Chains A and B, each alone.
Chain A
Amino acid sequence: MATTAVVLPKPATPTTAGWRTWLTTVDHKLIGIQYLVTSIIFFIVGGLEALLIRAQLGAPNNTLVSADLYNQLFTMHGTTMVFLAIMPLNTGLANYIVPLMIGAEDMAFPRLNAFGYWLFLFGGLFLYLSFFLGVAPNGGWFAYAPLNTCADRTLTECVSAGLGRGMDYWGLGLLILGISSLAGAINFIVTIVKMRAPGMTFNRMPLFVWATLVTSFLLLFALPAITVAIIMLMFDRIAGTHFFSSWGLNPQLYGDPLLWQHLFWFFGHPEVYIMILPPFGIISEILPTYSRKPIFGYAFIAYSSVAIGFLGFTVWAHHMFAVGMGPLANAAFATTTMLIGVPTGVKIFNWIATIWRGSVRFTTAMLFAILFIAMFIIGGISGVMLGSPPYDLQLTDTYFVVAHFHYVLFGGAMLGIFAAFYHWFPKMTGRIMSERLGKWHFWITAIGFNLTFLPMHLLGVLGMPRRIYTFDSEMGWNTWNLVQTIGSFLIALGVLIFAWNLLVSLRRGERADANPWDGGTLEWATASPPPPYNFLKHPVIKSRYPVWDMGSKVETTPDDPAEVERALAHLPAPTIYPLILAAGLTVMMIGIIYRGPWLAVTALGLIVSIAGMYGWIRQISILPEEEEEEEEELEEVTH
């Protein structure tokens, strides 16, 4: 960057922001970083749970952890990785990058954005509170009924042995996280539809923005199903209703256990695409950058995201081929499931074609992107196999399924997210992550991942069911389980190197200029890290890769302090109220779990929530004047 004589207000970056800023910020960039840091910590915690699981299964008849603790571990591992790691990692990246990519100064609803983050943090802490109280959820992240419809341990009342308050924490925690995701989804949709820079048509939007848009719509339509289902489940658990349960074997009291499965998977399958579509978008940004070549088949990649989004709502019952839906229903869901392989294949072919005849730089980000494609191919193939009901009757609920979705969610989503970190870290911090440590991270992860998850295909075929805490030595599963356990510790070593890389690069990483990777999309036009207002003037977009096509002309280096001041004044003021409202809502849930006198806690939470809402609304009610001024300003400009 050229040196400027003007003294600019220092942007609050991860290294310069004080704790007060962190608590009150409504800047999408800082909120993005809060999301990323929090979810990386949850990712590490979920990984530690996985290590305990693998340690237990490293040998037959192992007694390292008890049956109940094992069930808690796999329940929390699944719940953590889905709701507290991959989803918020995607949200954090999109939070930071999407407004920059479309040339917006912030998200459409900055306070709602902060509210979403605080709900995510408190929802996660709420869930983990159960762990510290020794009653972590133990009924599976899928919480099947009627296993999970009864809160009491007494066997005579309900046979749901061993299931205590844990699943209450699970249900209410997920409700909190659901509100957070919903707030985020609405915010992204409005931001992307309404706040694109002049000239950035839908047809010129970066593919990561496309992916975020489709993902947000998926959240909007999928979350209601699980929200309704969890509220019904909580009624079954707390109020003795029988939506899903059938205790006492009284025909009059039959709820339908399958209703839960339908509602859960109607959310659960789109959820897979909610996790994987943003990494699809990440890959579609990274491959062109390091191949120095525009994406191949832009429209096909964008539209295949939309196709996958639609089809994603028509395949949920392929999780239920074994429940006895009958051959016709099974065949119908098999058809839609196999169909979804087509747009997925189209994406993979377009990615390879993007590299084709490019000039490939093997940076760490690019290596992870390539590994993503290679691993996702395997996850896609095994997905088609599982989509065939007769074969699925053998493979479902075995380790083959565990292999399949880890190839999709680790080999896919997580590797994409690692790639994103190496790619956008310089934009966020102004420093480049160590490529040397990055390469170590890459190779160790590549080997560890395949050692851990490739043999799981075989174990599934050899008849090893999922979710078993012990197995007999005569089953022929010993060797591969040991290999997997060794592999899982290699993955952990990789993650350790990654975390270390983040920390040291933040302080001592090589300085990055605005565009260290020679990227083509708009985020590379502004400084690294960007100023609070992102861009001083709205750049006019004429193509899909404005920075490549217009060169330094889109560079928005500010030189007029008055302009900078005006841009800063335009930003919404920091506020504490989203945090207060989120805290109040979370406290309310604690009382609901224990009820009785604990309902006083719920009342306290309600009061805090109302105070938060009141403060928030009061702040907003001052706004119209400001906006009028803005409009006047705008008129002046346009005249």
Chain B
Amino acid sequence: MIMGRRAQLRLLAVALLLLLPVLAACGTEPQSILDPKSNNAREIHNLGKIFYWSALAVFVLVEGALVYTIIRYRQSKNPEPFHIHGNTKVEIAWTIAPAILVAFLAIMTYSTQAKITTFPENPFVVRAIGHQWWWEFEYPELGISTAGDMYIPAGRDIKVELQSKDVVHSFWVPKLMGKTDTLPGLTNYLWFNAEEPGEYYGQCAEFCGEQHALMRFKVIARPQAEFDAWAAAMKEPPPAPPQSAGLCLGCHTFDATKPSTVGPNLRNFGSRAWIAAGALENTPEHLAAWLHNPEAVKPGNLMSTVVKPGVLTDAQIQELVTYLERLKVE
């Protein structure tokens, strides 16, 4: 039953080889925390590496001791047990050993925590507000508001003010920063500096009701100049809405300088990749389906209390699709 040392080593090598593709695959996933793209996400990742190596060491030592013990002292090998009730010295040793390890891990934890919770001077402030089930983003310094995609200048310290309009949500962009909850009646904060321009996926991480799974968003980091151009374009008044948009205006606005009321601000809807916070890809066909019957696409959403099949005629839907897809801000 016991294999030779060489066989054991061979088995270990095979196991590690099998693990390699798994490890190699990590990092390409859009929400992997192993692929940090901001200063603070990297700090957390570096802390994580310390934890992984410690975990691996403890795992190998303790599981190894367990496996060795049950094989070595099985009945056929060791018919007569050795009677012993305990040993105080050993007990003290294996109380102190884990205590030292967790003390070390605690100190590393405090040090990382100090770094990521020390807020920078002069950050660029974005306010992220959670709604059932979409994200609103306000730019207090610019006087504009958007939803779904959070545009930020790359390479600048970003401070996110977190609020909620209804229940508890959690703002999470794995590649940029750990999550922090948004609570009704309170404001939370987090900060990061996305060094590279790029698109980073985010998702609500606290269960917030029926469509918690479809409360996704993106953070779009652009070089400062491009970001400034985007902000200036957002401030432009939107093209004149068609007649059929009257119903929309009860809850939405097409003007980024006006705050969202009930539903998302639609000023740059045409530039967004998703409809209804990740429910559908943003194509004219999908948008038509959504406007026809939002309840079928994302059951429980607020819009379906107003827009039911038949409320909008096919012609109106076509008119709205054309208009909404025109609302691009690049």
Contact = CB atoms under 8 A, between A and B. Distances in A.
Interface in B23-53: 25-26, 28-34, 41, 43-44, 47-48, 51
A301 to B, nearest CB: 9
Contacts of B22: 458
Size bracket, chain A contacts: 35 or more
Contacts of A296: 84-87
B82 A293 contact: yes
Interface string A369-399: 0100110011001101100111111111110
A373 B184 contact: no
Nearest to A349: B94
A300 B89 CA distance: 12
Contacts of B25: 476
Interface stretch (B5-13, B54-62, B228-236, B309-317): B54-62
Nearest to A397: B205
Contact of B305 (A155, A294, A323, A361): A155
Given A67-B299, A257-B184, A360-B70, A390 B116 contact: yes
A381 B179 contact: no
B295 to A, nearest CB: 11
A162 B167 CA distance: 13
Nearest to B71: A360
Contact of A146 (B84, B110, B184, B207): B184
Contacts of A470: 213-214
A298 B86 contact: yes
A346 interface: yes
Interface stretch (A33-41, A82-90, A336-344, A631-639): A336-344
A374 B113 contact: no
Interface string B178-196: 1111011110110000000
Interface in A5-24: none
B172 to A, nearest CB: 7
A370 B66 CA distance: 8
Interface in B102-130: 102, 105-106, 108-110, 112-114, 116-117
Nearest to B32: A462
**Could you say which interface size class chain B belongs to?**
35 or more
Contacts of A145: 168
A359 interface: yes
A361 B77 CA distance: 11
A374 B34 CA distance: 27
A331 interface: yes
B78 interface: yes
A294 B33 contact: no
B127 to A, nearest CB: 15
Contacts of B69: 352, 355-356
B85 A298 contact: yes
Nearest to A382: B55
B200 to A, nearest CB: 11
A297 interface: yes
B84 A342 contact: no
Nearest to B114: A327
Interface in A158-215: 159-163
B79 interface: yes
B238 interface: no
B319 interface: no
A357 interface: yes
Contacts of A619: none
A54 to B, nearest CB: 16
A560 interface: no
A461 interface: yes
B105 A388 contact: yes
Contacts of B26: 458, 461-462
Interface centre among B26, B31, B55, B170 (most CB of A within 10 A): B31
Contacts of B207: 71, 140, 144, 147, 397, 466-467
A348 interface: yes
Contacts of A232: none
B185 A359 contact: no
A322 interface: yes
A304 B131 CA distance: 45
A304 to B, nearest CB: 9
A334 interface: yes
Interface string B87-109: 10011001100110010011011
A394 B98 contact: no
A240 interface: no
A348 B185 CA distance: 45
Contacts of B99: 342
B285 interface: no
Contacts of A334: 106, 109-110
Interface string A463-487: 1111111111011110000000000
Contacts of A353: 90
B59 A381 contact: yes
B183 A341 contact: no
A466 B51 CA distance: 22
Given A249-B184, A358-B73, A474-B30, A338 B113 contact: no
A299 interface: yes
Nearest to A474: B30
B210 interface: yes
A465 B83 CA distance: 49
A66 interface: yes
B83 A391 contact: no
A282 B30 CA distance: 44
A490 B26 CA distance: 27
Contact of A355 (B58, B73, B179): B73
A361 B76 CA distance: 9
B174 interface: yes
Contacts of A134: none
B43 A390 contact: yes
Contact of B167 (A146, A350, A472): A146
Given A249-B165, A342-B98, A467-B212, 4 more contacts: A159-B132, A334-B106, A461-B32, A467-B213
Q: What are the nearest 5 A-B pairs in CB distance? A: A393-B178, A463-B31, A476-B29, A468-B213, A324-B188
Interface of B: 22, 25-26, 28-34, 41, 43-44, 47-48, 51, 55, 58-59, 62-63, 65-67, 69-70, 73-75, 78-87, 90-91, 94-95, 98-99, 102, 105-106, 108-110, 112-114, 116-117, 132, 162, 165-168, 170, 172, 174, 177-181, 183-186, 188-189, 201, 203-214, 278, 299-300, 302, 305
30 contacts: A66-B299, A68-B299, A68-B300, A71-B209, A155-B305, A257-B183, A293-B83, A295-B85, A296-B86, A298-B86, A299-B86, A327-B117, A331-B109, A342-B95, A346-B94, A348-B62, A357-B78, A358-B78, A359-B73, A359-B78, A361-B75, A374-B67, A377-B62, A388-B112, A390-B47, A394-B44, A394-B48, A468-B213, A475-B29, A476-B28
